[in-house]
Amino acid sequence: MEQALSKAGANDVIPDWQDHCRSDALIADLRALGVPLPSLQPAPSFDSAAAVIGGAYVLEGSRLGAKLIRRSVDSRFPTAFLDASGGLGWKNFVTFIERVLPTTLEGAQAQRAAIDTFGVFERAADELPRKVSV
């Protein structure tokens, strides 16, 4: 997803876009667990700045969720993805969205891209094993 967003111009839309990226950490954690990487799913069409923001919304939201999940993860498990820092922080990201998506049309484009992005992650998650042991 990060690659698709980068190709769509996220560097020009999201402040410090590279600081938001954590796919390397996720890949490292999956490999440490011996979990095969899911197949690459087709990315949504990020054909506008609003769509890029919608996709980035999903990724930034996962950072917030990671903080909550991290509290209950056993220390034997790899946590590079859950521990990754960077990005604007959730409140600042929401403020950014409110500032740069002033119209209903732009908001709808961002919402559609976010929903499509969630779908990509859902399909990828369906390929992962339900239990992992360390």
For residue 114, how many C-alpha atoms fall within 13 Å in the half-sphere facing its CB? Answer: 17
Residue with more model confidence, 3 or 88: 3
CATH superfamily of 2-36+49-125: Heme oxygenase-like (1.20.910.10)
Number of other CB atoms surrounding residue 12 within 10 Å: 9
Cβ–Cβ < 8 Å for 69, 22: no
Amino acid in position 131: K
Query: Please, what is the average pLDDT of the chain?
Result: 89
Q: Is the pLDDT of residue 88 over 80?
A: no
- Please report which confidence band the pLDDT of residue 132 belongs to, taking 50, 70 and 90 as the band edges: low
**pLDDT single digits (tens) 7-41:** 999 999 998 899 889 999 999 999 999 988 887 88
**Helix (H) or strand (E) segment spanning residue 27:** helix 23-33
Q: Is 67 helix (H, G, I), strand (E, B) or coil?
A: helix
Q: How confident is the model at residue 134 (pLDDT cuts 50, 70, 90)?
A: low
pLDDT for residue 73: 92
Residues 6+ apart with CB under 8 A from 89: none
- Say if residue 80's pLDDT is above 80: yes
Residue 5 confidence (pLDDT) = 97
pLDDT at 131: 66
